[in-house]
Amino acid sequence: LAMYNFVIKEKNAPLETCWGFVDRTLKQIAQPIYSQEVVYNGWKRKHCLKYQAIISPDSIMAYLYKSVKSRMYDAAV
């Protein structure tokens, strides 16, 4: 982690303890038969699962958070 932090500091980032960047994505799924409202995303108007990851400066996925309900707000993830 110290190496990643050093690389980010070298790019003149104003972050003192940063070692990765948050990235999230929605993946569309087929319309489920039951509990459709759990995975329906009103913003995209599709049935989706939401994933969130931490990506290191060398583009390696350091952490992947489980799929969550698409209706869940990003701040809650």
What tens digit of pLDDT does each residue of 33-64 get? 988 888 888 888 888 888 889 999 888 999 98
Does 30 fall in a domain? yes
Counted domains in the chain: 1
Does 2 fall in a domain? no
Does 41 fall in a domain? yes
Q: Domain limits at 52? A: 23-76
Q: What is the dihedral of CA 40, 41, 42, 44, to 10 degrees?
A: -130
Does 51 fall in a domain? yes
Residue-level pLDDT at 69: 64
Q: Cβ(67)–Cβ(50) under 8 Å?
A: yes
Does 18 fall in a domain? no
Does 12 fall in a domain? no
Give 30's pLDDT tier (boundaries 50, 70, 90).
very high
The predicted model scores a pTM of: 0.63
Does 46 fall in a domain? yes
Does 32 fall in a domain? yes
